[in-house]
């Protein structure tokens, strides 16, 4: 009986050591996620710069005009960026709604955007991926009820990607890990009238 108890204790201790070593090993890997678009593996030691993201269509924390939603023309808003580092190779844009009922809802993902200072209204600035409407391109705010927040995040990267049009957000975020040199965001709100 004592041998069985000792064997059980040994297995329990080994399992605990594996779990702890796995946690310690992965501590530095913070993948970009819908809830927390962090800096990704390797970027903790880098100095991630901040850029300013703005729009001539709405103020930060303001209301997104109907024109840019599913209740209007459903076109992308104009965006402007300040403070893009000289070493930038490309920009990535991710627009999502963390207030969606089931999970954070992705409205727009674009990569290989040139390191530019402005994106025009209703334009395709780079290669677009699949949004959560199951369409490639922009899908404007379209909350089922209440007021939702829409985050437009811009990531400045030190490379371009080989991803094909229609790739998923998960595929894009996986490519971004370790390549973010600056980031910024703009948040707007919208509720159906």
Q: How does pLDDT run along the chain (193 residues), one tens digit per residue? A: 555 555 444 444 444 443 334 433 333 323 343 333 443 434 444 588 999 999 999 999 999 999 999 999 999 999 999 999 999 999 999 999 999 999 999 999 999 999 999 999 999 999 999 999 999 999 999 999 999 999 999 999 999 999 999 999 999 999 999 999 999 999 999 998 7
Instruction: Report the alpha-carbon distance of residue 71 to residue 78 in Å, rounded.
Output: 18
- Structural domains in the chain, sorted by start: 31-191 (3.90.280.10)
pTM of the model: 0.77
DSSP assignment of 33-49, as one string?
-SS-----TT-TTS--E
- Which element (helix H / strand E) includes 156? strand 147-157
Instruction: Report the alpha-carbon distance of residue 162 to residue 139 in Å, rounded.
Output: 23
Q: What are phi and psi of 27, to 5 degrees?
A: -55, -40
Q: Which two tokens stand for residue 150?
A: 């829409």
């Amino acid at each position: 009986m004592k041998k069985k108890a000792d064997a059980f204790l040994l297995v329990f201790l080994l399992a605990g050591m594996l779990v702890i070593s796995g946690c310690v090993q992965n501590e530095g890997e913070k993948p970009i996620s819908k809830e927390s678009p962090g800096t990704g593996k390797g970027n903790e030691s880098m100095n991630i710069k901040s850029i300013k993201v703005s729009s001539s269509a709405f103020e930060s924390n303001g209301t997104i005009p109907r024109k840019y939603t599913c209740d209007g023309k459903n076109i992308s808003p104009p965006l402007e960026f300040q403070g893009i580092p000289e070493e930038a190779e490309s920009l990535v844009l991710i627009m999502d709604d963390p207030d969606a009922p089931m999970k954070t809802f992705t409205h727009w993902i674009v990569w290989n955007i040139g390191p530019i200072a402005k994106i025009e209204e209703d334009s395709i600035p780079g290669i677009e991926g699949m949004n959560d409407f199951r369409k490639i391109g922009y899908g404007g705010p379209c909350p089922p009820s209440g007021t939702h927040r829409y985050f437009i995040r811009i990531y400045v990267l030190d490379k371009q990607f080989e991803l094909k049009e229609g790739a998923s957000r998960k595929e894009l975020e996986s490519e971004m890990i370790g390549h973010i040199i600056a980031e910024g965001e703009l948040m707007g709100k919208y509720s159906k009238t």
